[in-house]
Chain A
Amino acid sequence: DGGITQSPKYLFRKEGQNVTLSCEQNLNHDAMYWYRQDPGQGLRLIYYSQIVNDFQKGDIAEGYSVSREKKESFPLTVTSAQKNPTAFYLCASSSDSYSGNTIYFGEGSWLTVV
């Protein structure tokens, strides 16, 4: 089945550690996105990538890093510089980044700092 797969579903991070969230899509989509969701709030854009080997910062990129070496993969690293990383992280993709193309979401990953 075509779709977006995020892993792991649940992840615990110790203070000072970097962790990486995986996002894979088999929809042949060019554009991919990472959003963060906090309770009672909408989604906020962390990073996005319109094409392989290219990505741009979203609204809350500080403390995060990404790579886009393959079309189907867009991993997100939450670094130790992110002071409040506990949140629900959602990956999304669309066939391109222009208006009119719907964006599809993965099932999300919960990150908790312990």
Chain B
Amino acid sequence: GEDVEQSLFLSVREGDSSVINCTYTDSSSTYLYWYKQEPGAGLQLLTYIFSNMDMKQDQRLTVLLNKKDKHLSLRIADTQTGDSAIYFCAEIHGSSNTGKLIFGQGTTLQVKP
């Protein structure tokens, strides 16, 4: 079946790099997404990666995809206190025509000054 797993909590110091990890089970996933959710707010799309890519970089964000291990990571360079939020990994698989996203449980990132 479809499943997406994330660790629940990560704490880093301001200025350090953060790495949030995600594993998924659906080998037919075509797109994988990272969303950010601040308290009491909706989800903000941060970035996404197509399954035929290994890496995507966008300013402070680097996404790495290991398709063989079904592992996705999000690296945030020079983490700031404003990066404190819940980060969701999500996948949409190739056989789906519903646009249905499968979400992980979310990783709470705490950034200490």
Contact = CB atoms under 8 A, between A and B. Distances in A.
Instruction: Decide whether A and B are members of one complex.
Output: yes
Interface of A: 4, 6, 31, 33, 40-45, 48, 50, 56, 58, 90, 92, 94, 96-108, 110
Nearest to B45: A102
B42 A90 contact: yes
Contacts of A56: 98
Interface residues of B, number: 29
Contacts, number: 73
Interface of B: 4, 8, 30-31, 33, 35, 40-45, 48, 50, 88, 90, 92-94, 96-101, 103-106
6 contacts: A42-B103, A99-B30, A99-B93, A100-B30, A103-B99, A105-B45
A99 B31 contact: yes
Contacts of B106: 40-42
A42 B41 contact: no
